[in-house]
Amino acid sequence: MPRKLRSNFEPGTTRWAVRRAQWVALGIPPEDFEKPKIAIINTSSDLSICFSHLDGVISHLKDGVRQAGGLPFEIRTTAPSDFIHAASKGARYILPSRDLIANDIEVSVEGPLLDGMICLASCDKTTPGQLMAAARLNIPTIFVICGYQDHGEFEGRKVDIEEVFESVGKVATKEITLEQLTGMADASIQSPGVCPGMGTANSMHIVCEALGMCLPGHAPVRANSHRMIDHATRAAGRVVEMVEEDLRPRDIMTAAAFRNATRAVLASSCSVNTVRHLQAVADEAELDINMYELVEELGPKVPLLVAVRPNGDTRVEELEASGGALGIMAELAKELDEAVTVSGRALSDVLTSFKRPKHSVIKPTSEPLSRQPALVTLYGNLAPEGALMKLGTGGGNKMQFSGPAKIFHSQEDAIAAIGKGEIVKGDVAVLRYLGPRGGPGLAFASWFVAALNGAGLGDDVAVVTDGQLSGLNRGIAINQVAPEAFERGPLALLEEGDVIEIDVAARRLSMVVDDESLERRLEGLPEWRPAKERGWLSVFQRLAKPIHKGAALTPED
C-alpha cells in the first residue's frame, strides 16, 4: 500500500478546498493532486555565471519527477555569488545569505507541506544553505551538483578566476598592468558554473557527496555536461522513490556521515569554510558535533591524497576524471564509518563497486602527497576558542612565524596598505571586528589575502582575522578566530606592534603580552559600535551563533 503523504489533505477541509482552487487554476490535472509533491529548489539568477545554466536543468528534473509518478514544483530562492554579492558593505551579506536560503526553503516547502526536495547545488552558500534546510525539514531530499566552469587562455597560458582574484595585488605592486588584468578577467571564464578550483563551491559539492546527499559519483562535475544532466535526470526519479521509502536526511546525515565528510575535506584539502558550514548543518540535524574538535582529531590521521588548484597544479577536471569524491572516499574506505546514501545503498557497497581509473590524480593512502594535516585548529591566548588554518600541501606554509601586528578594521584599508608599502615581510596583518556579530555578517578578509599573494608577500606576511577567507586563499592565513573581537575576545586587545607567534606544530596562536597587561587593556577597552543596520544584517547580528559554532541562526541550547 502506498505511504500516506503529508501533502494529501482531507477532502472537504479548508486547506484542501483552497489549494484545489489554486491548482486547478494553474492547469494541474486533479488526478495529479494525490501524487508525491516534489519541490525543485532553484537558485537561479541573471547576476552571476554560477547560476546562469540552472533554468535549463529544470525541464529535465520536472520530466524525471513526472515519469517517476511525482508532481514537481519549481521554487526559487536568493542566489548569492561571492564575487558578485560581495560588492556591498565589505561582503557582509555573503554568510547571512546562507541562512536566508535555509529559511526561504523552510517557508516555501514546509508552508505548503510538500513531500520531498531536489536541491540544485551551485555557488558557495547555496549548498550549505540547502543542506541546512534539508536537515531542518527532514523530508526526503536529494542534491543535484550543478558543476564547475571552464577556464580560458590569455597571453598563451591557461587562466581562471583564481588568477584574476590574486592578480589585483600584482596591479597594486605594478607587476602587471591594468590592461593585463582586464584581459585576464575577460578570458578567464568560458562557460557557466562555479569557480574551477578547490574553493568553497567545489569543496561543498564534495562534502555533499561525502555526506551521502547526492547520488554517488556526482561531484565534481563540469557544468552543463551530459554527465551532469544524466545525474539530474536520475536524481529526479530517485527522490520520488525516497518519498515512498521515507528515506530522510537525518537517516543519511548521521554523526558517522559527518566524520566521513571531514575525512574527505582533509584528504582533498577542501576550503576552510567547509568547517563552519558542516557545523551549521550538524546543528540543524540536532547532532552533538564539534567540528573544530573533529578536525583536530582526524587531521593527523587523514593523509592528503589530491591537491587541486590553488593547493597544487591539479585541475578540477582531472579530479572528476579520477572519480572525484567517490575516488577519494574509495582510497579512504578502510577508515570510513558505515553510512547510507540517497541511493539507498550502504556506503561500503557503493565503494566496493568503484573501479579506480588507470590514470588517477588521487594518490593511494600508502603514497600520499603529504601526511601533514591539510587543515588545523589553533588555540592560545589569542584564540582561546579556536581558529582555523589551511595548510594544503604544506609546501608554502611556514610552521612557525613571529612578527609585529599591523592592525586593520577592513580589508579595503589593508589592501591600500599593500600599495603604499606599509606591509612588509615579517609583519602579521590583523583584520578584526569582521566577525558574525561585529561585522555584522562576517566580513571578507579574502580579497586582502589574495592581493597579498599577488604582491608576492603570501609566504612572508601572516594574516590573522575573525572574518572569513575564501576557499581559494593560500599562505599563512588564519581565520575564524574565536571569540571574535566584537565579543571582547583577545583579538580586540591587540595593539599595533604587539608580537604574534604562530606555531603550527604546537597548534598555537598567541600574542606576546603578559596577562596583567591584557587585564588592563580589557578594563579600558571601548565598546565597538558596528555599522547600524535595520535589515537582514541586523537580524543576523542579533541571532547568529559564534563562528566556531557555525554562525547559524539556530537557537542556543
Which residues form the catalytic set? 470
Q: Which value, to the nearest 10 degrees, does the dihedral of the CA atoms of residues 76, 82, 88, 90 take?
A: 140
Residues 6+ apart with CB under 8 A from 524: none
Backbone angles phi, psi at 94, to 5 degrees: -65, -60
Amino acid at 199: G
Alpha helices in 371-427 (DSSP H): 411-419
User: Strands 383-390 and 375-380, how do they pair?
Assistant: antiparallel
Residue that the C-alpha cell 565503494 belongs to: 351
Are 15 and 9 a contacting pair, CB within 8 Å? yes
> How far is CA 445 from each of CA 280, 285, 414, 434, rounded to the nearest angstrom?
21, 30, 9, 8
Say if residue 533 is exposed, middle or buried (CB neighbours under 10 Å; 0-12, 13-18, 19+). middle
Amino acid at 543: L
Residue that the C-alpha cell 547520488 belongs to: 215
Sign (positive/negative) of CA torsion 326, 329, 334, 337? negative
Q: What is the DSSP string of 311-329?
A: SSSB-HHHHHHTTHHHHHH
Amino acid at 212: G
Residue 188 CB neighbours (<10 A): 24
Query: For residue 10, what is its C-alpha cell?
Result: 482531507
Closest CA to 136 of 119, 152, 121: 119
